[in-house]
Structure 1
Amino acid sequence: MSTTLNPPETGTESLAVDRSVVNAALDGRWANLRRESRDLCLEPEFRRVSGLSMDDHRERVLEQLHGLVARDAVHRAFPARLGGMDDHGGSLARFEELVVGDPSLQIKAGVQWGLFASAILHLGTEQHHDAFLPGALQLTAPGAFAMTEIGHGSDVAAIGTTATYDPETEEFVLHTPFRAAWKDYLGNAAKDGVAAVVFAQLITQGVNHGVHAFYTPIREVTPEGRAGALLPGISSEDDGLKGGLNGIDNGRLAFDHVRVPRTNLLNRYGDVTADGTYSSSIESPGRRFFTMLGTLVQGRVSLSGAANAVSKMALATAIRYGNERRQFTADDPNSEVVLLDYQRHQRRLLPLLARTYAAQFNHNQLLQRFHEVFSGEFDTDADREDLETLAAASKPLTTWLCLETVQQAREACGGAGYMAENKFTGWHSDMDVYATFEGDNNVLLQLVGKRLLTDYGRSIARMDVAGTVRYVADRAADMTLHRTPLRRAAQSISDFGSAARSALEIREPAVQRELLEERVETMVEAIADALRPAQHASAAEAARLFNENQNDLIEAARAHGDLLQWEAFTEALATIKDADTKRVLTWLRDLFGLVTIERNLSWYLINGRISNQRARTVTSYINRLLARLRPYAVDLVESFGYSPEHVGATIGTGVERTRQEEARDYYRRLRASGQEPVSEKALRDAEKKAQKKAASAR
């Protein structure tokens, strides 16, 4: 028996969590495909081999990609006439789980089929599909996605590479005019790629029509089907050893007046006739640009899903280990305490567990929305705009959560967590770049913040006179209640002397929703008010005002992402029919909501949204939830569906339990034999007790 420092509350110990029910909810609509992909990663061919050199790691991952092709594992999102199934959501669900085998495998597969081939599919027309997709799908034409430039990063609209049309030869001339316009960080660019989808400023008849994509051969193909020499005008450099993901041959590309046929323009959204006349179905250049980039949103969606997978594996390892590893005695001098029984250990891991559940439920909704848009079920401009905003909100939160989870889980496992065999250090190295992949997280949240401001402006603009009057009156009342001490004082009076009443209120879903929602709304309104003078200001003054409020805008977007996750968790709870399971998951949802509120308590206090009494109750109730959830921590990570074999971390396989049982058995036998040495402390304590007794007798 272990010593229990934080026993669960009476009446909760006998609850039974149905792991299959929880797993079904977590894995979502494409559960079977997720499980198939995880199990594929159990095959030795797809497992990461530690200690490989960079060159050997790259070669192994390339062979793994050929293995995926051989198993028909890459076509699912593509048209049926090309061997696919037009199943966009299912394809992404399978792809995300490849991170179980090796993050380098997941990302290189994403480069080939999620970026290179998908750009051909979504930006090209049927003639491009027929000409270029077979090679991309069968991996006879490994390709790079040449968008990012050294000098502009996330600012794709400002890239320097040009594609100038020559009507005499009916060719585009691709050119890199300066060093900062080199394409960089491109998978398949350093070694394996024979073609690239190159993004460049399309110039024809002296007019720049903005960024468009061009299918561009970059290397010869050898008789063995491998990438050979660079083609004339193409320059390439190897990015070399990176902080992680070294199974991918990232590199740079530059173009010195490289000519490609006019028909290599991926012209779904913009075309050039033989004489150089440009046309597009989308009149606005800005709208056209964002529409083209919006077709590539699946990169952000899949990174979010893969980050969740790593968070789950890290937590599964740390909680399995923490449930077995013992350290320090408490009330029983002969029994050390299991790490997960310590409140601090629970505080480190269980809130991350709650956040990971919330992130996964939110991702399931995002993936569903992605599928609806790309399958054509719901594919209006508004649907695509919503999808882009949701992806831009989700990807930062999940990738940051992954890095935080991996680090905390590593520390929670002590020195064992630092061993490469237990995966944490490798995950940290590989997942670090996910925070800037497919858009820097802060830039993405800024996009979300701008959308929130736009929606706020639209809601104000749609109000009639009566509605405006009511709105002003409501805001005046809000000012009275929240921006003076009156509301805070009233709440303190109602809470005074009744922590139980405060706890009952904050555990109510309506109260949690209100607190999370109100923070977003209040922040957005305050930013909108601060930016209102920019409407009639000079460009320089408008830029200054925006910059002054940029951080607040990003924080508002992050708060919006928290709200989306809480709502997704709550909606998922409604699908759980088993009463015990639902009760445990409700505690976990409450933990997510309350740790989110606790993280932002200063804002709630400063803005009068919560009293000092209730603020203290938030923290105390979190501690109660930790004790309630402790008995079910292992159930909750086992429900992820990642077995110890999937994860591959030695300390997550039960070896620690064996070691601990061996040690405990040794000391039991030693005590039973009567040969256990007496500790100096015990001897001194006995002597003091005897002396005290003798003195008392005198």
Structure 2
Amino acid sequence: MTDTVVRPEKPSRSKRTPAGGAPAAPASAAEASEARIDVAGVTDLLLGTWADTRREAREMLKDPAFHRVDGLGMDEHRERVLGQLRLLVENGSVHRAFPKEYGGQENNGGNIAGFEELVAADPSLQIKSGVQWGLFGSAVLQLGTKEHHDKWLPGIMSLDIPGAFAMTETGHGSDVAAIGTTATYDPETEEFVLHTPFRGAWKDYLGNAALHGVAATVFAQLITNGVNHGVHCFYVPLRGGDGGFLPGIGGEDDGLKGGLNGIDNGRLHFDHVRIPRTNLLNRYGDVAADGTYSSDIKSPGRRFFTMLGTLVQGRVSLDGAASWASALGLYIAITYATQRRQFDSGAGTNEVVLLDYGKHQRRLLTRLATTYASIFAHDEFLQKFDAVFSGTADSDADREDLETLAAALKPLSTWHALDTLQEAREACGGAGFLFENRLVGLRQDLDIYATFEGDNNVLLQLVGKRLLSDYAKQFKGADAAKLVAYAAGQTAGNVFHGSGLRQLGQAVSDFGSTARSVERGLRAEQQHELLTERVQQMVADIAARLRPAAKLSKEEAAAVFNANQSELIEAARAHGELLQWEAFTDAVDGIEDAGTKRVLTWLRDLFGLGVIEKHLSWHLINGRLSTQRAAAVTSYIDRLCLRLRPHALDLVDAFGYEPEHVRAPIASGAEQARQDEAAAHYDALRESGELPTPEKSAHKR
């Protein structure tokens, strides 16, 4: 039996879209029947600058040898992932970022793009390979010199030297500058003595540390001639040929975790372990045979951030992997929602497809919009990363911008992934709770992404400080006239917003159809204005509250900053959302196909208005929106969801995933087959006259 509602007359270009079943918003049915997206074109857009590399990786990952096997014990899972790393080497998939003289391609952006795709196979594989080549190997490459490269890179690339990245300590995670492990230079033997002085200084949560690592890049406080020159990185052998720890080195297995149990995370500690002076990765700081320290970067603080900045690719890859994990979760949930039926409409018709319910559209399509925004922002981010690491745009300012982007986007995408995978799981009911349908496994594995490479709130605080710094630069060296003009503008702005003049103007323009008013008045320019002004106003307000701290003691100033910390982190989050909106808009502006442009504009509007709705109280308090227009934002979001409903399958098909990547029975067509079987059963009963009469109908006779 066919559905009572009909899809737009113009057929979808998606090969998976079933006929019928999706109502369009009455106000936009004509538009919906005209516009359909070019699925292949949108796939190209989403795969981004390194689309060819992503396709190459996805083709490789069709091989079941790379797939996560549910139900494996921790030990079996660890050994399987180690074997998968060897397969990556055999396929030449780990060499992209390394120098050509060692068999690499010096393709930094492509390396990250290919690496991110591993999340669809098994997040444990993605992260363990990231430990080996993106952290351990990258530390040797980025912090070492040619002597180190010649000695260790070939073995790292071939996996003959599995290694750990020993930065984090039990007592210090995000605060790397305060780690307790020391490396004290002994000029008599020309050796560094690595030591863990207390339990909190144990290196912790390290991939490859529990079992497989034979060496580690260890971060420690470099001390020579009685002076602590801050955190530096050292190459330290860990295990001998028998797999046991070398003398003076100890450790523990972290054991079973909340996810990523294919990785052998563990702890390390050092008891006066001696390593040669030349094992210091000395690109940015060196110690001569007599113990004299030297560095081209005189400022200890700048030197520290330069060294850590070379390892920013971890945050870059987490941002992309989280975005694509969200895409995979939505592919599964939205596919299922277009096939699974539940409850009839009350008119005696067929049960209703889940995605035809308004709440289901709200819970999935809004997150789909955010996922698109996150993917588009990530590609711009990845371009910036490639430019810095290739040397085409590698100034101090470029590196600072890259670090700020990383700290702004990684929190948003990883939080979004957790939220999306949980909502997708719930949206699939009991089927979503089955491991075979991927959602619970992805949710478990992605959990740690929110604190990998820095706790998300700490990262956003770094962004907030950068925003304050840039804000302060506006007034550095400003003359009295400029400051007076700024003050007058602030006063005028406060009077304007605080007096309700803007609200009054909006109320007049909103008189009549608020829906039409919002549609006219909150398109691209107005969305951008609201999102931008929110960041600017929040930063200005925080700066004003922090200004008196300059005249206070350090303790009092710290208390003032602490009182404003939450607002600063929220401003940074608003900044990240603005970056995502702008990236989405840039992508839409570059689309030539009219139907695709229209649908993706609706999706961009859904993202932008969703962000505005989330912060409606702020916009109301600060007079940026009238109460009437604020109320209409929500209803317009619902209309956008209806408008996008016919395009839902096309939009997830555009992620470009094939059955081998999805591997979720509820997204395979099995549910549609079940529904068809049930419909055929009742049709046969009805035609034979054997269909029992419902009790309610029988009583009416």
State the TM-score, normalizing by the size of structure 2: 0.96
Aligned to 1:419: 434
Amino acid at match of 1:339: L
Distance in 2 separating the partners of 1:444 and 1:483 = 33
Contact 2:23/2:646 (8 A) holds in 1: no
Distance in 1 separating the partners of 2:522 and 2:677 = 43
Distance in 2 separating the partners of 1:595 and 1:376 = 38
- 1:540-564 CA-partner distances (Å, limit 9, x unpaired): 0011001000000000000000000
Aligned counterpart for 1:475 among listed residues 490, 513, 526: 490
| Structure 1 residue 485, shift from structure 2 partner | 3.0
Equivalent position SS for 1:237: strand
Aligned counterpart for 1:367 among listed residues 382, 393, 400: 382
Contact 2:144/2:283 (8 A) holds in 1: yes
Aligned to 1:696: none
Aligned to 1:303: 318
Aligned to 1:112: 132
For residues 51-450 of structure 1, the aligned pairs below 5 Å read 51-222=71-242, 228-330=243-345, 332-450=347-465
Amino acid at match of 2:584: F
Contact 1:39/1:646 (8 A) holds in 2: no
| Structure 1 residue 252, shift from structure 2 partner | 0.2
Amino acid at match of 1:589: R
Deviates more, 1:11-20 or 1:159-168: 11-20
Aligned to 2:9: none
| Structure 1 residue 526, shift from structure 2 partner | 0.5
Contact 1:3/1:336 (8 A) holds in 2: no
Aligned to 1:695: none
Aligned to 1:2: 3
Amino acid at match of 1:681: K
- 1:421-467 CA-partner distances (Å, limit 9, x unpaired): 00111011100000000000000000000000000000122544433
Amino acid at match of 1:19: V
Distance in 2 separating the partners of 1:386 and 1:18 = 34
| Structure 1 residue 470, shift from structure 2 partner | 2.3
Distance in 1 separating the partners of 2:498 and 2:291 = 61
Contact 1:397/1:558 (8 A) holds in 2: yes
Distance in 1 separating the partners of 2:343 and 2:661 = 31
| Structure 1 residue 620, shift from structure 2 partner | 1.1
| Structure 1 residue 36, shift from structure 2 partner | 1.4
- 1:193-218 CA-partner distances (Å, limit 9, x unpaired): 00000000000000000000000001
Contact 1:3/1:332 (8 A) holds in 2: no
Aligned to 1:24: 44
Equivalent position SS for 2:475: helix
Amino acid at match of 1:233: G
| Structure 1 residue 647, shift from structure 2 partner | 1.2
| Structure 1 residue 402, shift from structure 2 partner | 0.3
Q: Report whether the alignment pairs 1:46 with 2:61.
A: no
Distance in 2 separating the partners of 1:472 and 1:342 = 51
Distance in 1 separating the partners of 2:91 and 2:169 = 35
Aligned to 1:547: 562
Distance in 1 separating the partners of 2:671 and 2:227 = 68
| Structure 1 residue 72, shift from structure 2 partner | 1.1
Contact 1:524/1:556 (8 A) holds in 2: yes
| Structure 1 residue 492, shift from structure 2 partner | 2.0
Distance in 1 separating the partners of 2:509 and 2:121 = 55
Distance in 2 separating the partners of 1:519 and 1:652 = 40
- 1:336-369 CA-partner distances (Å, limit 9, x unpaired): 1110001000000000000000000000000000
Contact 1:13/1:631 (8 A) holds in 2: no
| Structure 1 residue 501, shift from structure 2 partner | 4.7
Contact 1:174/1:258 (8 A) holds in 2: yes
Aligned counterpart for 2:625 among listed residues 588, 610, 615: 610
Contact 2:34/2:595 (8 A) holds in 1: no
| Structure 1 residue 608, shift from structure 2 partner | 0.9
Distance in 1 separating the partners of 2:314 and 2:24 = 44
Which 4+ residue blocks in structure 1 deviate beyond 6 angstroms? Answer: none
| Structure 1 residue 660, shift from structure 2 partner | 0.3
Contact 2:285/2:293 (8 A) holds in 1: yes
Q: Report whether the alignment pairs 1:517 with 2:532.
A: yes
Distance in 1 separating the partners of 2:473 and 2:219 = 33
| Structure 1 residue 115, shift from structure 2 partner | 0.1
Aligned to 2:683: 668
Contact 2:515/2:636 (8 A) holds in 1: no
Distance in 1 separating the partners of 2:549 and 2:481 = 27
State the TM-score, normalizing by the size of structure 1: 0.96
Equivalent position SS for 2:244: strand
Amino acid at match of 1:309: W
Deviates more, 1:283-292 or 1:490-499: 490-499
Q: Report whether the alignment pairs 1:597 with 2:597.
A: no
Instruction: Please report the RMSD computed on the Cα atoms of aligned residues, expressed in angstroms.
Output: 1.1
Aligned to 1:581: 596
Aligned to 2:693: 678
Cα distance change, pair 104–199 in 1 and its aligned pair in 2 (3 A):
same
| Structure 1 residue 331, shift from structure 2 partner | 5.3
Amino acid at match of 1:63: G
Unmatched 5+ stretches in structure 2: 6-21
For residues 620-635 of structure 1, the aligned pairs below 5 Å read 620-635=635-650
> Once the two structures are aligned, what percentage of the paired residues are identical?
64
Aligned to 2:574: 559
Distance in 2 separating the partners of 1:185 and 1:469 = 53
| Structure 1 residue 500, shift from structure 2 partner | 4.3
- 1:67-108 CA-partner distances (Å, limit 9, x unpaired): 111111101101000100110000000000011110000000
Contact 1:3/1:331 (8 A) holds in 2: no
| Structure 1 residue 312, shift from structure 2 partner | 0.4
Contact 1:6/1:343 (8 A) holds in 2: no
Contact 2:35/2:594 (8 A) holds in 1: no
| Structure 1 residue 178, shift from structure 2 partner | 0.2
Distance in 1 separating the partners of 2:372 and 2:416 = 11
Equivalent position SS for 2:284: coil
Deviates more, 1:465-474 or 1:146-155: 465-474
Equivalent position SS for 1:236: strand
Equivalenced residue count is 681
